[in-house]
Amino acid sequence: MIFALRSAQRLVILLLLAQPPLAGLARAAENGSASPEQVVPATAATPSPQGVPAAPVPKAEDEPTFEIIDFRVVGNTIFPSQRLLNLLDDLAGPGRTAADVEKARDILEKYYHDHGYPTVLVNIPEQSAESGVIKLQVIESRIAKAAVRGNDYYSGKRILERLPSLAPGTILHVPDVQRDINRINRTADLKVMPAMVPGKQLGVVNVELKADEKLPLHGSLELSNRASNNTSELRLNAALHYDNLWDLDHSISFQYQTSPQEPSEVEVFSGSYILPAPWNTDHTMVVYGVSSDSNTAFGEGFKTQGKGSIIGTRYVVPLPPLENYGHNLVTGFDYKKFDESTGLANSSAGNINTPVEYFPFSVAYNGSLPDSGGLTLWNAGLNMAFRGMVTRQENMAGKRADAKGNYFDAVFGVERRQNLPAGMGLTLKLDGQVSDQALISNEQYTAGGMESVRGYRESEVSGDSALHGVTELAAPDLAPVFGMGEGFRINPYAFFDFALLWIKDPLPEQQRELNLQGTGVGMRGSLFRNLEFQVDWGMALAETSYTAYGDSRVHFRVKYQF
């Protein structure tokens, strides 16, 4: 961060032989701040930090000398007075000159600047050296006015409210300003750059904030073939969100998903509302809802039909960073209600209604650590539900044998994105779920598809416990090779995915252990900035009820966003 700051005119000490005063060619007026003055006696024998008395600054021939008995620092409200006086101990003693006083001023001013106070000046007021007490005047320049320029979508008042370190009357402290600027610049559509402007009077500075912003309205339209078993191939997803509702940094979003070839198969509506917590704006609150009407087969040999709805909340707490390590804690609960019918796949027998509603609670920890070689991410979480409230044990058991209304499972994940020579990259990912009991299908871990194990359909199998891994070796960006400019990116890669799933207390029609493995090549990138694409060709290396060994599948995703 660079501040434009005009230096105050430096002062020169004049010594008069008769009654030698120290006079500044330019005087700094007292700033009126009440500050205790503290005097520390000093002599020529005062040891330096190395135990050796500091030598006087070499003086010009016939330059008058005088004795400095002690220093007096006035105008300071930031540091303990004794701390400042200790910095000047080595400059006290006989045989001192005006250059020694100037050096004392430089030491004090540098100390303020090194500790993040660039607008603080130290002057030498007019005085006499006859008493041996040298007075140094600290001018703690304060912010008189702050103004925002170039903003259209975010009000200047709200921007300034989020920058308490630049409030009028505040002494500018660079670490505090950086913290506030970094916080406000996390907003995707708003970036702020401060600049210091000297005030009309000494001891006063003004702040100008240049806002670089965009309309906080965004949307996307995605077409893919991320289809599950026994459904048509294509999926269409549309999303729209506005990120500065009420000029309070609230965000509202809506999504709609369908299968365009057979709209009756999949129709999902969802929405969310995100806002800073009123009691702590660093914390984030999320409220969301999902309404789904689907016809989807999942699980080993089962199909599920019906409607479902979810209403949930999340509370995100950023934890204090540890150098480069960033982490947060997320807690929340959901109300889930599913009115479904379940029957054996490919069976003419009638379906059984299996309505279920429950109230699960979750807590998760997320961490990230960037380094010179790449980025490491990890997470861990617990999901649990309790009998009572809205959960009925007979409904859970009716949906799946041995399922209980009070369940508990743990989830985990770790990912390493490693930079390699020549612009290549390696991604290693491992995640999974652990449960000691049978879970209803809505809480099982699902595997297969573009974001899981390529070469299989989406959510082809599911289990109560699971271990999933991804290895991906990416080539350098090929866009420059083809002469494409900024906004274009083409990254080919090769991959190997796997998933192991375990079913607790399986029925006779189910397997206890499921194994998915897929390998292949793919390409992802962007065109004209707004258009993203991904194409994968994956070959299955393990057999399931829906996929044979050696079967291959092309997965694709095209997304336009603004």
| Spatial distance between the Cα atoms of 514 and 540, rounded to a whole number of angstroms | 13
Domain covering 21-140 assigned CATH 3.30.1360.170 in the classification: no
Domain span(s) for CATH 3.10.20.310 in the chain:
21-140, 142-213
With CA atoms as reference, report the closest residue to 216 among 307, 289, 153.
153
- Model-level pTM? 0.78
Domain limits, CATH 2.40.160.50, in the chain: 217-561
Specify the DSSP class assigned to residue 4.
Answer: -
Find all residues with CB under 8 Å of 506, minimum gap 6, and list them: 300, 512
Pair 442, 422: CB distance under 8 Å:
no
Residue 446 bridge partners (DSSP): 462
Residue 180 near residue 164 (C-beta atoms within 8 A): yes
CA separation for the pair 135, 142 (Å, rounded): 22
CATH of 217-561, one of 2.40.420.20, 2.40.160.50, 2.60.120.10, 2.160.10.10: 2.40.160.50
Q: How far is CA 278 from the centre of its chain?
A: 19
Radius of gyration for the chain, computed over Cα atoms and rounded to the nearest angstrom? 34
Those residues whose C-beta lies under 8 Å from the C-beta of residue 235, and which sit 6 or more positions away, are 222, 223, 224, 225, 226, 227, 257, 258, 259, 260, 266
CA distances from 336 to 297, 332, 436 (A): 20, 13, 22
Amino acid letter, residue 457: R
User: Tens place of pLDDT for every residue, the chain, 562 residues?
Assistant: 222 322 333 322 222 222 333 333 233 333 333 333 333 333 333 334 444 445 555 555 567 889 999 999 999 999 999 999 999 999 999 999 999 999 999 999 999 999 999 999 999 999 888 889 999 999 999 999 999 999 999 999 999 999 999 999 999 999 999 999 998 998 989 999 999 888 888 889 999 999 999 999 999 999 999 998 888 999 999 999 999 999 999 999 999 999 999 988 888 899 999 999 999 989 999 999 999 887 453 223 333 444 788 999 999 999 998 989 999 999 999 999 987 665 544 444 456 667 888 999 999 999 999 999 999 999 999 999 887 777 777 677 767 777 887 889 999 999 999 999 999 999 999 999 999 899 988 899 999 999 999 999 999 999 999 999 999 999 999 999 888 888 899 999 999 999 999 999 888 888 899 999 999 999 999 998 899 999 999 999 999 999 999 999 999 999 999 9
Phi, psi of 94 (to 5 degrees): -80, 165
CATH (one of 3.30.70.20, 3.30.565.10, 3.40.50.1820, 3.10.20.310) for 142-213: 3.10.20.310
User: Which DSSP category does 187 fall into?
Assistant: S
CA angle 75/79/85 to nearest 5° reads: 75
HSE value, Cβ hemisphere, 13 Å, CA-based, for 19 = 3
Q: Which of 40, 39, 33, 123 is nearest to 78 (CA)?
A: 33
Q: Give me the numbers of helices (H) and strands (E) for the chain, helices first please.
A: 5, 30
* DSSP code per residue over 516-543: EEEEEEEEEEEETTTEEEEEEEEEE-S-
